[in-house]
Amino acid sequence: MELAQPITPAGQSHRVLLRMGWALVALLLQLLLGTLGFLYFGQEGTEPFDAFYMTAISITTVGYGEVVDLTHSDAGRLFAAFVSFAGFGTLTFIFSSLTVFFLETDLNEALRRRRMEKAILKLKDHYILCGFGRVGRNVATELIVTGHRFVAIEPNADELGRFLERQPGLLYIQGDASDDDLLLRADLAEARGLFAVTGDDSRNLMICLTARQLNPTVRIVARCHEMRNADKMRKAGADVVVSPDFTGGMSIASSMIRPHVASFFDEMLRSELNTRIEEVPVPEGWTPRRLSEFGRRSASHMLLGVRLDGHLELNPGDDFWLQPGQILLIMADAAGRQTLERRLAGLDSV
């Protein structure tokens, strides 16, 4: 738990800019007061521009020559000295603030990238989201809601920036996801799955091919606009190919033909409870036991079915044996899924 709100790089830069703004206001006031002062202390007939020029060379200490004669006015000389000291201090503050601003911006960016790289390397069983357009952002939102960790890869900084305003903790890498180095930086070797969801079928094809070569076991889900490209993506390494246009059409048809079923899933996705139909594998170290001993339903989840070797057992009976390698299909929120995972791993009592 955070006990204090950290100062972000953006907040530090804002403070520096704010100080520079006040310093510029002070400089303008000094120019105005200096001009008025030299008009007052100068000889009769002193021009306003000469007074302004006198103020400028006094502040900058360039000493091009006095255009306002102050030889007969000790008060005028004292005023000129005051203008020089005050103006020089203000200019020094402005230039030093500018230096700090640029150095701090570059340093903060380098530190931020370094921290993000370390955070990515600590991930395990995470997802890599290649493409952060409209579809990618919706995938990211679903991953966040369901409590899954992921790394986004997107070449367009604006696409990332819009999401960062709502999720400043986003882990991301800016660049082309079909680049081997970027996928390795996203720790593809430890990833559970990869989404290729850019708006370009050819790029998604390259991402699938590259990811499959780097990690033959990673699960890949690809987005496809033209259904004629689906087979190519599967041959390139995609486990599942999804066409948003096709899926959207089926959803529209279902809303008309079976409205209550369609509304059920729609309400489940939009509900603040964030309930989903999840799948949880039974780990290898699990001791086989009957479902009656484990419980098909609890406050955190409801068991819908069990899949093993391609066979789906819907609503299994109490005598059904839970064994390692099975996949439990449950209805739960993110916390409920995590609770069940801990129970299966033996971290919580059954």
| CATH 1.10.287.70 placement within the chain | 9-120
Q: Where in the chain is the domain with CATH 3.40.50.720?
A: 123-242
Superfamily of domain 123-242: NAD(P)-binding Rossmann-like Domain (3.40.50.720)
CA distance 314 to 303: 9
Residues in CB range of 99: below 8 A, 6 or more apart: none
Model pTM greater than 0.75?
no
| pLDDT of the residue at 7 | 39
Q: Which of 245, 162, 263, 144 is nearest to 199 (CA)?
A: 245
Q: What pLDDT was estimated at residue 237?
A: 93
Calpha distance 233→227 (Å, rounded): 10
346 Cβ neighbours under 8 A, 6+ residues apart: 285
Burial class (CB in 10 A: 0-12, 13-18, 19+), 136: buried
pLDDT for position 64: 65
Reported residue count of the chain is: 350
CB 58 within 8 A of CB 35: no
E runs forming strands in 175-274: 193-196, 219-223, 240-242
Quote the CA–CA distance of 31 and 28 in Å, as a whole number: 5
Nearest-angstrom CA–CA distance, 309 and 287: 19
217 and 192 Cβ atoms separated by less than 8 Å: no
Point out which residues pair with 240 in neighbouring strands: 221
Question: Which run of H or of E encompasses 134?
Answer: helix 134-145
Largest Cα–Cα separation, the chain: 111
For the 9-120 domain, the top CATH level (class) is mainly alpha
8-state DSSP, 5? P
Q: Residue 143: its pLDDT value, please? A: 92
Q: What DSSP assignment string belongs to 275-309?
A: -EEEEEEPPTTPPPEEHHHH-SB-SSEEEEEEEET
Can you give the pLDDT at residue 63?
64
244-250: long-range pairs with CB below 8 Å, 24+: 244/135
275-350: which CATH architecture? 2-Layer Sandwich (3.30)
Mean pLDDT by 10 residues, the chain (350 residues): 38 66 81 81 76 78 68 74 78 75 61 80 92 91 90 90 82 91 93 94 95 95 91 94 86 84 74 79 88 78 85 87 90 86 74
How is residue 336 written in tokens? 């409920």
| CATH 3.30.70.1450 residue ranges for the chain | 275-350
d(CA 289, CA 305): 16
CA distance 63 to 253: 82
